[in-house]
Structure 1
């Protein structure tokens, strides 16, 4: 019945509530410094955003009648040098809306920005802040606070897996009204993600942008997220293509093995072809059905929450 209602609303053109954009940090942005740098937005077939100065989240809500209570915070990829903002962001949020799920796109600060003091801290600071903001608006946005997940593509997948494994890490951000809200995501969706910072399988562009060209072994270990999985790491869905020549499929395989070793609910789909950056894969033959697998998995997460 719910699926029929969602389809009816979609066909009638009313599935999307009006979107809104919120600043993450209404006061001073932590870990920032004054610079002459300006944000840039370019249309390269996709909307490419770089040099982010003011991190924001853009909220896309399904109409109340269709809402499942789930929300997904989306981290677009771009090698930690920019954001493929519509390709791996807003169009994903709109697809989630067709499933009755709130989609929230994070425009996070990039570590190579001259306005950032400590490179590797800024994206995670923004990610934690965003998930807390979502939970603080849960009642207003018809969201279940226990069904707030994250989704990351490529380097955005590294940020997502960092949040999923470092949500309890010590923070250097100001105390305010939402600072103590739980930052642990309830589930993770990782799409052709960068996971490791170790040279054998990492994406070197992402590593260099995040950690610098000569990072310490301690930093490499800390941000190699296959090494950081704990028993409270959230349930995870992974999808990757074997022929990905940008981010090796071993990134997903290593993370999946780490999850299974900790008895964490994990589902992985590896396709023989698809390359890198396929997003919804609408022009990729049967690979485009990966979103059907995700839809089934998200419904399972909802059912598991209802049973608890």
Structure 2
């Protein structure tokens, strides 16, 4: 299914991820809910998809970023940590592609923890399938995630061998691994000491087994195959402790994965671009330099 926006030029596209049957799903009476109260908040996603924002050809670098908005695996802060990020990436010549992924607390999902990763993997493959059409370099496609979306992004970059058992089409044969990761105040661990409990409960349930907790504690899943990573967070984050970023960074360094981390003393959680928060609002320009260096 292809939905084209009202723009005359195909710079905003909406694409459903799954053309036919959505894997790991079951019938329910749920319907998607969108609330706009300062931030566009999407819950109970039924048809996962992507919104595609392409830069003007004159400045296009060939890079693309799949953006995973946060929301504790209970909802999606879709414009705050999605659309505005995509449009900023466009200003740097980078395609920004916002992922509307299924949320594990949905009654429309059979196995909760599988659905977000299935959607993220499919999105990466779908982007690569359109690389020529969208003038992208299929080896310069990364993922960016905020908060619980950071957990999903880091899962995409570390769970490289997780069984999928999806019905085959040509898109499912393409590479799902991102070429780089950008993790912004991310949830990383499911260990109860430092996790975001709401995200853990939504993804794994109230009483997950030790094996499942370990599997989705992504600092434990880092290997030398993990893509280069950029992390940003704050020391005073009272929602997702900064130890999530610190532990992931340490794991990256120990595995000799190129990594860069910026931890600010203040800023709390959910700051997105940090507009109006003095030096914190410059973190995205530091990211822009990092992304440019990846091209060299």
TM-score w.r.t. length of structure 1: 0.93
- Work out the CA distance in 1 between the residues paired with 2:204 and 2:162: 17
Q: Displacement of 1:228 after TM fit?
A: 0.3
Q: When the two structures are aligned, how many residues end up with a matched partner? A: 289
Query: Does 1:119 pair with 2:112?
Result: yes
Instruction: Pick one of 20, 27, 50 that aligns with 2:20.
Output: 27
| CA distance, structure 1, for counterparts of residue 179 and residue 185 of structure 2 | 20
Helix, strand or coil: the match of 2:51?
strand
Deviation at 1:165, TM superposition (A): 0.2
Partner residue, 1:103: 96
Q: Does 1:155 align with 2:148?
A: yes
Deviation at 1:17, TM superposition (A): 5.7
Query: Cα RMSD (Å) of the superposition?
Result: 1.1
Partner of 1:263: 256
Residue 18 (structure 1) shift: 2.2
Query: Post-superposition shift, 1:180?
Result: 1.1
Q: Secondary structure at the match of 2:294?
A: helix
User: Which aligned pairs between 1:1-20 and structure 2 lie closer than 5 A?
Assistant: 18-20=11-13
Match of 2:277 among 275, 284, 290: 284
2:172 maps to what in 1? 179
TM-score (norm 2): 0.96
Which secondary structure state, in structure 1, belongs to the residue aligned with residue 143 of structure 2?
Answer: strand
Tell me the equivalent position of 1:59. Answer: 52
Query: Separation in 1 of the partners of 2:88 and 2:139?
Result: 21
Separation in 2, partners of 1:50, 1:18: 25
Return the alpha-carbon distance in structure 2 between the equivalents of residues 47 and 285 of structure 1.
25
In 1, the alpha carbon distance for the partners of 2:160 and 2:49 equals 19
Counterpart of 1:45 (choices 35, 38, 43) is 38
CA distance in 2, matches of 1:250, 1:21: 36
Deviation at 1:92, TM superposition (A): 0.2
What are the equivalent positions in structure 2 for 1:184-195 lying under 5 Å apart? 184-195=177-188
Paired position in structure 1 for 2:217: 224
| 8 Å Cα contact 1:17/1:62 also seen in 2 | no
Q: 1:245 aligns with which of 224, 238, 241?
A: 238
- Give 1:167 shift: 2.7
> Alignment partner of 2:66: what SS?
strand
Q: Distance in 2 between matches of 1:169 and 1:301?
A: 27
Q: Detail structure 1 runs of 4+ shifted over 3 Å in the superposition.
A: none
Structure 2 unpaired stretches of 5+: 1-6
> What is the SS of the residue equivalent to 1:179?
helix
Partner residue, 2:160: 167
* Farther-moved stretch of structure 1 (160-169 vs 74-83): 160-169
Check conservation: 1:191, 1:240, Cα contact below 8 A.
yes
> d(CA) in 1 for partners of 2:189 and 2:161?
20
Q: Which of residues 234, 254, 266 in structure 1 aligns to 2:247?
A: 254
Q: Distance in 2 between matches of 1:70 and 1:280?
A: 20
- Structure-2 change in CA distance of 1:17 and 1:94 (3 Å): farther
Per-residue deviation, 1:302: 1.0
